[in-house]
Structure 1
């Protein structure tokens, strides 16, 4: 097959994927996850029902793809003229949370936690991608001359802590919107992380030297 023919096939595949995601996002918002079927999505998108699992494997894979695309639209580093601050990124995230469809992120969390199959792996990859995004943002600010192995470990730990705090506040705001000031909570977290980020590569102890899950707790040197 010619490269031109292959490009055309890829374009058709990308267009089908976009139409499926558009339809799924609309229907999930209108009806909820459980009451939306592949048949519904097929009718709304104009794409055959059999093509949906070919693109997304299953319904859980589809909802994760919907959430991932929505997040990428809401928080895109390349849209800023310079490297954005956490406050800027969190302001965009807060606008997405208030958009009304961000609860999809948590719809299958319980199943993902109680499973070791495809749903668990899909959610695991989704969260890993979010952490990698934070890691890339940090790496762009890494000072020269820092040991890359230690820096990478610290950046991964920072990314896990930051995304954990972010999603925790998100969940609180969804469940108790009147009791949680989303903007203020996110800005406070951003300010605290920005303050500690200044010392991320300099004064924190190497993670290899810190107690790990209690294994090194209580040990003393000879």
Structure 2
């Protein structure tokens, strides 16, 4: 019986998280109520605090899931050769196809608020992203192609900033060709 109860709990939490992700991406955290989440998820409003404590606990759970999703996407190191560019493009464009970008950008605004409970988790997401690109840029083949005075830390910050910025532009105006933008970024950085 315990296994069945645990499975139902997990399924209920997934329904609540999925609804919260959609609503936070559509409306933002501040404009979403637990009633909205309950209606979207089909779960009673009273069970949301039981699973997540309060709305802030739900927000933290959504950001933790977002961070875990990013970590899974970054499990495969970027190869130094031409395949690396393709992997960067796939990684950066996956979030647009899955809707993660809108959620990320909406919650990024929340993370910037003074005293935000998701400031530290977002700082960790950014650090993981920079670490991922730094590891790529530290490979001898890539490092040798970097312009003078530009190091792996610079590349990591440039790629994370550019990817977030290009994705933001795409969310606002989806005519932007992200694939071309990512490829151009890599060529600018890696070709002299």
| TM-score bin (small chain) | 0.5 to 0.7
> 1: distance between equivalents of 2:75 and 2:11?
18
Unaligned stretches of 5+ residues in structure 1: 1-11, 144-152, 197-222
Deviation at 1:26, TM superposition (A): 4.9
> 2: distance between equivalents of 1:16 and 1:136?
38
> 1: distance between equivalents of 2:48 and 2:114?
29
Match of 1:174 among 171, 176, 180: 171
Deviations 1:173-200 (A, max 9, x none): 010112x11111111112223336xxxx
Comparing 82-91 and 22-31, the one that deviates more? 22-31
Indicate the structure (1 or 2) with the bigger Cα radius of gyration. Answer: 1
> 2: distance between equivalents of 1:126 and 1:177?
24
Residue 105 of structure 2 aligns with which residue? Answer: 106
Structure with greater helix percent: 2
Match of 2:190 among 194, 197, 207: 194
Residue 92 of structure 1 aligns with which residue? Answer: 91
Residue 160 of structure 2 aligns with which residue? Answer: 163
Say which SS state the counterpart of residue 103 (structure 1) adopts.
Answer: helix
**1:22-101 superposed matches below 5 A:** 23-29=16-22, 32=26, 34=29, 35=32, 37=34, 40=38, 43=43, 49-53=49-53, 58-77=57-76, 84-101=83-100
1:20 matched to 2:13? The reply is yes
- Contact 1:112–1:123 (CA under 8 A) maintained in structure 2: yes
Residue 9 of structure 1 aligns with which residue? Answer: none
> 2: distance between equivalents of 1:124 and 1:18?
29
Deviation at 1:168, TM superposition (A): 0.5
Deviation at 1:61, TM superposition (A): 2.0
Cα RMSD between the aligned structures? 3.8
- Contact 1:28–1:36 (CA under 8 A) maintained in structure 2: no
Q: In the superposition, relative to structure 1, how do residues 118 and 49 fare at CA in structure 2: closer, same or farther (>3 Å)?
A: closer
Deviations 1:74-107 (A, max 9, x none): 45416x8x66503322223213312233211011
- Contact 1:27–1:36 (CA under 8 A) maintained in structure 2: no
Say which SS state the counterpart of residue 128 (structure 1) adopts.
Answer: helix
**1:89-168 superposed matches below 5 A:** 89-139=88-138, 141-142=139-140, 154-168=151-165
Which structure has more relative contact order (CA 8 Å, sep 6+)? It is: 2
Deviations 1:120-167 (A, max 9, x none): 22222221121122223334x147xxxxxxxxx932222111100111
